[in-house]
Amino acid sequence: RLDKKKYRVYCLTGDGECHEGQIWEAAMTSSHHKLDNLTAIVDHNKYQIDGRVEEIKSLQPFAEKWKAFGWSVFSCDGHNMKSIIETLEKAEKVKGKPSVIIAETVKGKGVSFMEAKPLEYHGRAPNAEEEKKALAEICQIEEFEV
């Protein structure tokens, strides 16, 4: 923005990362400078590597915290592309302040055993057998060669 360029900036982060001070420092700085070309998207899956976000340290009221830092706040279904695109378009129209989109998601969405045990797959890649099962579920086919 200081270079007078006409582009948008997108920042992707997770709700667990919002426990960290640098997120709120950046939020405050972005609002102070009225960075209306900035859209942050928070993956609100309610988990971080140490456990459930609310059990580690509550972020509630989450949307109100962003508003208090001077951001325009939106939320969407983070698994629905139509919802995501519509919300991005709304955020793009905001003038005078940055926008945040809280994307409501389910960790491991589409893979039954990952949805059932989200912490087991946070910070660890699936093994070959798990990968094959996951791809079969996502692709909805019986056999999938890796």
Query: Domain segments of the chain: what residues?
Result: 9-105, 108-146
pLDDT of residue 144: 46
Rounded to an integer, the average pLDDT of 83-112 is 97
What single DSSP character describes residue 7?
A: -
To the nearest 10°, the Cα dihedral for 106, 111, 115, 117? -140
Instruction: Report residue 137's pLDDT band, with 50, 70 and 90 as the boundaries.
Output: very high
Q: Which residues contact 23 (CB under 8 A, 6 or more apart)?
A: 13, 17
Rounded to an integer, the average pLDDT of 26-49 is 95
pLDDT tens, position by position, 60-75: 899 999 999 999 999 9
Task: Give me the CATH code for the 9-105 domain, please.
Answer: 3.40.50.970
Rounded to an integer, the average pLDDT of 94-99 is 98
Q: What is the pTM of this model?
A: 0.88
Spatial separation of the C-alpha atoms in residues 112 and 118, rounded to whole Å:
10
Residue 141 has pLDDT above 80, yes or no: no
Q: What angle (nearest 5°) sits at the alpha carbon of residue 78, between those of residues 77 and 83?
A: 55
What's the number of CA atoms in the CB half-sphere (13 Å) around residue 96? 1
pLDDT of residue 140: 73
pLDDT of residue 53: 87
Lowest average pLDDT, out of 14-23, 24-33, 60-69, goes to: 14-23
* Termini Cα distance of the chain: 44
Considering only residues 123 and 80, tell me which one the structure prediction assigns the higher pLDDT. 80
**Residue whose tokens read 């692709």:** 139
To the nearest 10°, the Cα dihedral for 137, 109, 98, 4? -20
Mean pLDDT of all residues belonging to the chain: 91
Spatial separation of the C-alpha atoms in residues 119 and 67, rounded to whole Å:
30
Residue 130 has pLDDT above 60, yes or no: yes
